[in-house]
Structures are given as C-alpha cells and as structure tokens.
Amino acid sequence: MRIAIAELNGEVNQHFGQTRRFALLDTKDNRPGPVQYLDASGLQHRHEGLANLLKSAGVETVITGGIGPGAISALEAMGFEVITGAAGKIEDVALLYAQGKLVSTGAVCGHHHDDHQHHHHHH
C-alpha cells in the first residue's frame, strides 16, 4: 500500500492546499518503508493536478491535517482513501497508519481561498 503524507518541515502539513511536498511511503507487514519525496511545487490549490500527480505516483491513501471539501472531493473521486486530522512527525504518522492505528477525524476546513492569513499552527 503506497501512502502520501502532506509534509511541511518533517511533519504533517495542516493545510493540504498549501502542500509543496508529499512524503511517499510503502507500507508492508505493519511497517512503513523508507520515505521518498514527491515535489508538488506549483500545484497548490489545484486539486485535480495534485490528485493526478499522486495517482501517477501509485498512491492509494492520502494523509493530511486540514483539507478543504473541494480537495477531498477531487481525491475521493479518483479513488483515494483520505485520512484527515493527522499531526506529528512523518515517520510516527506512517507507523501509526501501517499498524492500523491512525483514524481519520473527518476534519474539513471550510474557509475561502482568498484568506490565508489565519490559523497558523505553531508546535
């Protein structure tokens, strides 16, 4: 199973639409494999473009923090499993997923795309 995790500074990106890089991992026998990175520069807020990029990389499951309804619709329409509400280090989240312990919270961002100055998360 190939998973893609929206990545920012080694952790799960809390804003899917602004993701510039995805961590790709293959999971097998309840363990994640080595991390590879997929460059998504220039595709921010282009839902179909992101979905096509991930599909061409063989991804089946997308893991992110927050995500808008348009992005979820685009991903699900192309057959991806989408897990939202994830947070923490990429390796930790990948391990939880591989062990079947990562549960989607169904978190959806309902904001408009013209205002990106709000809800910055500092950990």
CATH number of the domain within which 28 lies: 3.30.420.130
* 83, 3 contact by CB (below 8 A): no
Residue 46 belongs to some domain of the structure:
yes
Please count the structural domains in the chain. Answer: 1
Task: Give per-residue pLDDT as tens, 88-99.
Answer: 999 999 999 999
Length of the chain equals 123
Residue 54 belongs to some domain of the structure:
yes
Residue 113 belongs to some domain of the structure:
no
Residue 112 belongs to some domain of the structure:
no
Determine the average pLDDT of the residues in 65-79. 92
DSSP letter assigned to residue 117: S
Task: Give per-residue pLDDT as tens, 1-25.
Answer: 999 999 999 999 999 989 999 999 9
**Domain limits at 30?**
2-98
Determine the average pLDDT of the residues in 98-107. 89
- State the pLDDT at residue 59: 98
Residue 116 belongs to some domain of the structure:
no
How far apart are the C-alpha atoms of 98 and 111, rounded to whole Å? 31
